């Protein structure tokens, strides 16, 4: 893909790293000269030291051939202006960070895909690490649903049972799905069926429609205070 990244700060720089390592053609627009110079010395991609809220800058960045633009600046007003210009230039996918939740609707009205305040996301992950240390990784979907990873303990109620047995014995709630099983480093992970047996040390990817609860983690062998 051809991706334009606006901003080379705490969000933009790791994004450039991921995008370039994944083999994408990346162009970065950064108004701060020092940041632009630092990024140019680290990554093999085009860096424009310019103002992305000027239409000509986006055109110089190759807006006519871009598949996507991602705006990561720390100002919502700047990000929304970039989204508006990107739409005018008909860039197919427009993505932006949104720092103030009150502005979320405005971004969506201009057709931008949004990511809420990144500092809040980090804080939420850090809190989850303390509150639910059994959860390896998770992602919130909508208001309640969550996808998370968890390792099955030896004495877990679900250990040694098939998914069908776990469901019929009311061990696994009806709104919870086991999406994938990583067993002994197996790649790709197992796609579970009803007769798939859950074993201790299995790393499960779980979808929980009602989110993670203390009762749910107990199914996998963890107790919470």
pLDDT per position as a tens digit, 83-111: 999 999 999 999 999 988 888 889 988 88
**Considering its fold, how many domains does the chain have in total?**
2
Widest distance between CA atoms in the chain: 64
Is residue 125 domain-resident?
Answer: no
Cα dihedral angle (32, 35, 41, 46), rounded to 10 degrees?
Answer: -50
| DSSP-derived 3-state class of residue 2 | strand
Do 17 and 98 lie in one domain? The reply is: yes
> DSSP letters along 91-157, please?
-SEEEEE-SSGGGHHHHHHTT-EEE--HHHHHHHHHHHHHH-TTEEEEEEETTTEEEEEEEPPTT-T
CA 23 to chain centre: 19
Question: What's this model's pTM, rounded to 2 decimal places?
Answer: 0.63
Domain that residue 39 falls in: 2-116
pLDDT(165) > 80: yes
Q: pLDDT band at 164, cuts 50/70/90?
A: very high
Is residue 225 domain-resident?
Answer: no
Is residue 122 domain-resident?
Answer: no
Is residue 123 domain-resident?
Answer: no
Do 65 and 162 lie in one domain? The reply is: no
State how far the Cα of 74 lies from the Cα of 164, in Å rounded to an integer. 48
Do 152 and 105 lie in one domain? The reply is: no
Do 157 and 73 lie in one domain? The reply is: no
């Amino acid at each position: 893909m051809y991706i334009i990244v606006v901003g080379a700060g705490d969000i933009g720089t790791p994004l450039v790293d991921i995008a370039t390592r994944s083999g994408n053609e990346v162009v970065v627009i950064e108004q701060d000269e020092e940041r632009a110079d630092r990024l140019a010395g680290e990554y093999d991609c085009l860096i424009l030291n310019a103002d992305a809220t000027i239409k000509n800058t986006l055109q110089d960045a190759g807006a006519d051939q871009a598949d996507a633009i991602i705006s990561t600046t720390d100002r919502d007003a700047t990000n929304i202006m970039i989204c508006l210009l990107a739409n005018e230039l008909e860039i197919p996918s427009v993505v932006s960070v949104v720092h103030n939740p009150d502005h979320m609707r405005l971004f969506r009205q201009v057709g931008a895909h949004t990511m809420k305040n990144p500092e809040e996301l980090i804080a939420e992950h850090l809190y989850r690490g303390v509150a639910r240390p059994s959860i390896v990784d998770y992602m919130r979907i909508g208001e309640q649903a969550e996808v998370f990873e968890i390792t099955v303990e030896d004495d877990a109620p679900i250990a040694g049972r098939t998914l069908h047995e776990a469901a019929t014995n009311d061990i696994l709630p009806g709104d919870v799905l086991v999406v994938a099983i990583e067993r002994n480093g197996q790649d790709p992970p197992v796609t579970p069926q009803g007769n798939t047996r859950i074993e201790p040390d299995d790393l499960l990817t779980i979808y929980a429609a009602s989110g993670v609860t203390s009762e749910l983690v107990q199914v996998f062998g963890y107790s919470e205070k």
